[in-house]
Amino acid sequence: MDPYKYRPSSAYNSPFFTTNSGAPVWNNNSSLTVGSRGPILLEDYHLVEKLANFDRERIPERVVHARGASAKGFFEVTHDISHLTCADFLRAPGVQTPVIVRFSTVIHERGSPETLRDPRGFAVKFYTREGNFDMVGNNFPVFFVRDGMKFPDMVHALKPNPKSHIQENWRIVDFFSHHPESLHMFTFLFDDIGIPQDYRHMEGSGVNTYTLISKAGKAHYVKFHWKPTCGVKSLLEDEAIKVGGSNHSHATQDLYDSIAAGNYPEWKLFIQTIDPDHENRFDFDPLDVTKTWPENIIPLQPVGRLVLNKNIDNFFNENEQLAFCPSIVVPGIYYSDDKLLQTRIFSYSDTQRHRLGPNYLQLPANAPKTSHHNNHHDGFMNFMHRDEEVNYFPSRYDPVRHAERYPIPPAICTGKREKCIIKKENNFKQPGERYRSFTLDRLYSLSYPIDITPGIMLVLVMPA
């Protein structure tokens, strides 16, 4: 018997019960006792193992994006953008890449209703030939705060009161009244699109600004946008109350049932690009996540399509243990100086190491589907088979070498150390334009949780 072939897997099920170590279990119904009445003996290893595993079935819940649903499929390039990026999975029309996608709500707990007014996460893991690429975004193109320094405070304000564990609006208004850049996000959150009908009828956005690099080394800032082919549909407040009251997992069920029925959800991927040499031509900072890039100035460019055609096999393995990190990129795609992205590069991978352990990228849902080689060893739950004697670099006994060099943004960084805000805040122009574009019936349909009119909302987010 090959001891490495039969690693733990449901593909190699035993015809009878066994312990985790493979020993046969002849009675999975009764504890080992002294006589028929007991007491129970501590030497009943099968009982102890069964209870111990059960007691540890729950892993730490995500602090944000705890409530989610996943599905698998593929991404297909439909338009040539090889002049913008040397990323292999974008090399030519027709190229397909397997993906797994996780949709989620942001603030509320793992068992909360999917009808709550809340941003929705839209995260895509591309299993490319050059390793994984995680595109981690939301259903809105902007965010509440522009600097990751404020993210923990923002989440604390949105989460329940630490004294009563009740989410209270005075805490939310108090915090955001000090951050006028949040106004733009509120014009999306309290618009009709604030409660998506389900995940299939929802747009997605990368939110952060990344950088595309061509083979020649030319860099372009880029924003990613997902557009559902079946259109955008949302729930009004009274509809959300009815749907959530009858099924608190309606969006998860809709996604699962649609794929099972062969009604595969599909999105088109578009990008917007800016030459970094032109970033000062705008009255806002293009790297500010509280701003959109006007489509009449920076048009959407089609790239490809995303199709979800397979349900996950196990919710825990491919949803709860599924881990996304904006730091995971491939050659041809790089970060920008977007302040929120810079902090997410650290924070996401750090939280996954806490939640799942230092070897979370060995879990099947997170592991690359291509060969890989490094000298990261040991640690909790390391199940990679290794038999090499050399675990250092370089070595004349190990032929591994550096990969072919690929370009990264060549910008030269200069400046003094300082803590400051960006120069072009311009907090009110874009949300003002969006607010004034609303029709009267749309304004009246806006639902605000503290029973105030949309006009007063503008005052509440002014600086204190």
Name the active-site residue from 138, 139, 359, 427: 138
| 317: nearest Cα among 162, 462, 100, 146 | 100
Q: Report the alpha-carbon distance of residue 48 to residue 39 in Å, rounded.
A: 14
Q: 3-class SS at 320?
A: helix
Is residue 329 within 8 Å of 368, Cβ to Cβ? no
Q: Report the alpha-carbon distance of residue 44 to residue 60 in Å, rounded.
A: 29
Q: Report the alpha-carbon distance of residue 339 to residue 135 in Å, rounded.
A: 17
Q: What is the DSSP letter of 155?
A: H
Is residue 375 within 8 Å of 392, Cβ to Cβ? yes
Place of tokens 């990613």: 224
User: In the annotation, is 65 catalytic?
Assistant: yes
Other CB atoms within a 10 A radius of the CB of residue 260 amount to: 10
Across the strands, what pairs with 127? 132
Q: Report the alpha-carbon distance of residue 120 to residue 252 in Å, rounded.
A: 13
Q: Report the alpha-carbon distance of residue 77 to residue 293 in Å, rounded.
A: 23
237-246 helix and 250-260 helix, angle to the nearest 10 degrees: 70
Joined tokens for residue 219: 């860099």
Q: 3-class SS at 353?
A: helix
- Residue 264 annotated as lining a ligand binding site: no
Place of tokens 């460019």: 301
Q: Report the alpha-carbon distance of residue 336 to residue 287 in Å, rounded.
A: 8
Q: Report the alpha-carbon distance of residue 247 to residue 299 in Å, rounded.
A: 39
Pick out the residues of the known binding site.
348
| Binding-site positions for heme | 348
Catalytic residues, which ones? 65, 138
